[in-house]
Chains A and B, each alone.
Chain A
Amino acid sequence: MYITASIAILVTLGLVLARALMGPTVYDRIAAINMFGTKIVLLIAVFSFLSGQQDLLDIALVYALINFIGVVAVLRLVAYGDFHSSGEENKK
């Protein structure tokens, strides 16, 4: 079961990678990298059960956090143009 799950995740990774490579707009690529991070978290979780190393689940949690922070930073950049403005100044 774990083997099937990991192969399915690998196929999904391939599809997401294709979207990240082709992605006509910026938002396609942002969605792709967010999805990629999520799939990597899933892959590590499945792999930890597959190989019997349950402590890899902690690593998967850390990856989820890093992915979240990275996507928030990317979205701030796209929305406001830099990391300093809080947003209100640019709306005027």
Chain B
Amino acid sequence: MIDIVIDITLLTFLAITAVAIVRITNLFAIIMLFGIFSFLSATMFVVMDAVDVAFTEAAVGAGISTVLMLATIALTKDQNEKQSVGRISWLPLAVVTLTGTALVYGTLDIPAFGDPEAPAQKHVAPYYIERSVPETGVPNIVTAVLASYRGFDTLGEVFVIFTAGIAVLLLIGDKRRKSTPGRNEGGENDA
């Protein structure tokens, strides 16, 4: 009962935040609201028992991407969104409404939340539930799947994220070197 109340309230807050993000033109305020949005959706994942997804959403959505977007604003020095002309363009609205309707129609065939007869629960999930502890010795099934059964996959993801992290650091982390005394004669003009 209280689960439903929490779910509905959080969903309402999510919708309010999303509408506000669209309406507000101050980019700093938008980033703050993005942080709130991530915290809200992460909490919804916690309430729906998807703790690992919630963990990722909080770390990436509320933590890293807030900091990265703030760093981008600090680099661009422009805190306001360009105001578009006041004319409503109907074609994108129609496309979005149609796609949304099709997606909602598609959810009608999805099995209920937590349905034990759902195809997702019938495929490999019983194998993992029965065999993961004797085969890998990891007490958490999700961790066993990520780190043992799909170990190479996770290793590849770690490589991708590591490379992306290096690229981001190269892009935004270069300022301190330029302001070092003795190195910046004439170098400021290149930037």
Number of B residues whose C-beta is below 8 Å from A? Answer: 42
Contacts known (A43-B43, A44-B46); A77 close to B58, Cβ less than 8 A: no
Contacts of A56 in B (CB 8 A): 46, 51
Q: Which residue of A lies closest to B52 (CB)?
A: A59
In the complex, are the beta carbons of B62 and A67 less than 8 A apart?
yes
Query: How many angstroms between the C-alpha atoms of A73 and B32 in the bound complex?
Result: 12
Q: Would you call B33 and A63 a contact (CB within 8 A)?
A: no
| Docked-complex contact B35 and A44, CB < 8 angstroms | no
Q: Cβ of A6: which chain B residues have Cβ within 8 Å of it?
A: 2, 6
Q: Interface SS of chain A: helix, strand, loop or mixed? A: helix
Query: Which A residues are in CB contact (< 8 Å) with B33?
Result: 20-21
Known contacts A29-B28, A63-B58; A36/B66 CB under 8 A: no
5 contacts between A and B (CB under 8 A): A29-B29, A33-B35, A37-B39, A59-B46, A67-B62
| Given A40-B39, A59-B54, 10 further pairs, Cβ under 8 A | A17-B17, A32-B36, A36-B35, A36-B36, A43-B43, A55-B51, A82-B74, A83-B70, A83-B172, A84-B179
- Chain A residues with a Cβ under 8 A of chain B: 2-3, 6-7, 10, 13-14, 17, 20-21, 23, 26, 29-30, 32-33, 36-37, 40, 43-44, 47, 50-51, 53, 55-56, 59, 62-63, 66-67, 69-70, 73-74, 77, 81-84, 89
